[in-house]
Structure formats: C-alpha cells, structure tokens
Amino acid sequence: MINSLTQLVEDFRTGSITVEDYLNIIEGRFDQFEPLIHAFLPETNRFRRLHLELVELVKKYPNPNRRPPLFGIPVGIKDLFHVDGFETRAGSKLPPEVLKGEEGAVIKMLKDAGALILGKTVTTEFAYFAPGPTRNPLNLNHTPGGSSSGSAAAVAAGLTPLAFGTQTIGSVIRPAAYCGVVGFKPSQGRVSTSGIISLAPSLDQVGIFTSNVESAEFAASIICKDWDYRINSESFKLAIPEGPYLSKSNKETLEHFKNVCKKISDSGFDIIQIPMMNNFEEIVEHNNNLIAAEAAVFHKDWFREYSNLYHSKTLELILGGQAIQSTEIDKSRHCCTKLRDEIMRLMVMHNVDAILSPSTTGIAPFGLESTGDPVMNLPWTYAGLPVINIPFEILVGSNLPLGLQVIGEYWGDVELIEIASKIEKTVFF
C-alpha cells in the first residue's frame, strides 16, 4: 500500500501509478476499514465525485510536466474547516446552516496545489473533549486521540497520505502519537486559520498528518509562510526540559523516552538537561482560563440559541469561560508571550536547537469515552512554538505506539523539520 505523500507525488509524476488507479485503491481500503474506524463523515458517492473532479483537474492541467505539486493527491480535512460543497458540523448537533462560513486560505492553497478533497474527517465537538465515533486503527478498543481524531486515524489506516487538523492544546500531536503517524504543528501565525471554526482564536493552530517527516515537510512547504530554504547543518544540540513538566508522563513512558534519548545521543546528537517551567501548574491554569474565556466569546451567539445542543463537556467549558474576568484573560494572554520568551531565552543561552519530550503521558487510553490527556503538548502550543511528533516504538501487548515530541524555536519550523528528519533517519530507520 502506497502511503507516503512524497512517494505518491513522485509516482504520479513519473506515471508509475495513475491518480485514477490510486483512487480505486483508496476506495477498496475505505470499503475494508472505514466501517470499523469511522475516520470520515459519511458521504454518498464519495469516489464517483472524486473521479469526476479528477476529470476536471486533468482538463485544467493537461500537461503532466506542468501540474501543481499536489496534483491528484486525496486529502482529509478536519470538520472544522469550511470547504465549498461540504457541510461543516464541527462534531456537534448544531444545525450545519448555522455553522456555515467561507472557505479559508489553507483549503484554497490545497486546491491551487491540485489536491482533491477526499472528505471531512471526524472531530471532537468544536475541537474540545467530547469524543466522536472514531477508533484507533492500531487497536480498535482504544481512542485515536483528539480533537483531530479522524485525520490521524485516516493516515494511520492508509486511507489518505495527507490530512489536516487543528491544535489548541494537543489536538494534532496527541492523536498522531496515539495512532503512530507524524503530526506537525507549525509556529503560531505561520499558517492562516481563516475559514476554521475556532475554539480559542489566540491558541488555535493548523496541523498536518503524514506517514513520515519528509512528507510533512513537503506539505508544510505549500501552506506555510516563507518556507523557502533548508538548513543543512551537520550537528544539532538538543535539550530535555527538567522539572515538574516531565513528571506528568507515566513511569513507563518516561523510561521509554529515556531509552530513545540515549539512542539519539548515541547517533551523534548532543543532548543536555535544562531546568524549565518550574511554574508549570500556573501555566496550565492560564492556558485553561484563556481557552474557556475565548470559547465563551466565540460561541456567544450560537450558545444563546442552541445551548441545549452542546455536549456537557463543551457546555461546562463555555459556562466556566463566561465567569472569567477580563483582567484574568489579559493576564493569561500575557503569560503566552512570557512563556515563549522564557523558553527562547533558555534555548539561546544554552545554544540549543530543539527540545525533546514525550508526546503523551502514555499510550492511547482504552475505550472511546476519553481522547486522552494533552498536558504534554500544552506548554508548547500555549507558547506558539513549532512541534512535531515522530512515532518511535510499538509497545508489546497493546500494539500501540509512543511518540517523541520535538519542539523548535519560534518561527524555526524549517530547522525543526531538519532535526526531526535526521532523528527519524538515523535513529528509527
């Protein structure tokens, strides 16, 4: 099964496989796996639509040598993004006509790059904690994580080589880790969030799911601002954040993390420990306050009319956010910048290129009632830093993976991808 985006792009270019044949392969996988996984929102005649869209795409780009970079690539889109021709439900029971909006910049970029919209992927309600029906493809009895549940599961199951999600706390990195795929969240502000139903506008960030780092870089180069160079450094210095933050992972995960850091060090990377975020509980509190307050504002009009249709978890978030004072909101926003500045100061002081940590507290939890704890992702998203998950180990017994989280400097996305690529190739391949 072809699952690497970059390999598929090359095969389409050389004619090793046609887009039409690949769509037929994907259709077969949908028939086999989608009824078990529920990664996508249901759609009648999905593949008939895609074949018709492919005909129009070929008419638009008849010369194979002049086709755009994602020509014919089927892409899964989290159901928070507005896409022309598709309803937006945002994992909720609210009427879709109420939620409709204009297509945003990312979707336009993907279409301009020749991508085919495979369909909408399942999200938790409004990207918060109320889970949808999606199951983890690696173990159907476990959660795929959230809130970008369907996007992570779709890539893991080989239903698509590329999917998009959003992250406000850990909604890209956590499901990527749980499902054993690469998840990349660029720096805050590097990718437009226009045309996306928001949870907390100050923190919402677009993310990418692929099967490997090279594919994530290829997709990022299309949607990220100023992605026009590569860092070809031979050596990088990495750091482990010492302090209360790491204690949030369970003992087994920390042991595996320690082992993988040793492998990375043995492969030639310089790794040091840096005391960091001693006020971690305060950071968590400010993050949660900001999300609740901004969610309450964003949902104000909908909530007034349709509060009875919200899931209890989202309802609790919004009601809590309504009670937060403006002074607390300002303080929480200031804490974002303060945290970013402090992390950047430490990285510069110690000449560190990236930070390493576990992507999650442990493997994907059993059952579908919870999407797991995003606490390991929280400070990096709150600070707006670029982050990538690299799957590094499948645990015997559960058949579920652990992920390595690599965090870069603010706006240092290109260098972060270079570091992640080198780790992936030297340590895991």
DSSP E strand boundaries for 194-299: 205-210, 237-242, 270-275
Question: Is 78 known to be catalytic?
Answer: yes
Which listed residue (92, 148, 151, 171) is catalytic?
A: 171
Compute φ and ψ for 68, nearest 5 degrees. Answer: -70, 165
DSSP E strand boundaries for 122-275: 162-167, 182-185, 205-210, 237-242, 270-275
Question: Is 16 known to be catalytic?
Answer: no
Residues 256, 262, 264, CA angle at the centre, nearest 5°?
A: 105
Question: Is 251 known to be catalytic?
Answer: no
198: left (phi over 0), alpha (psi -120 to 50) or beta: beta
Asked if residues 123 and 142 have their Cβ atoms less than 8 Å apart, the reply is no
Distance, CA of 110 to CA of 106 (rounded, Å) = 6
Distance, CA of 336 to CA of 202 (rounded, Å) = 9
Among candidate residues 121, 119, 117, 120, the one with its CA nearest the CA of residue 53 = 117
Asked if residues 239 and 419 have their Cβ atoms less than 8 Å apart, the reply is no
Handedness of CA 265, 377, 254, 163 (dihedral sign): negative
Distance, CA of 279 to CA of 95 (rounded, Å) = 42
- Sort strands 205-210 and 400-408 into parallel, antiparallel or unpaired: unpaired
Which listed residue (92, 147, 215, 357) is catalytic?
A: 147
Which listed residue (78, 120, 185, 422) is catalytic?
A: 78
Q: Active-site positions?
A: 78, 147, 171
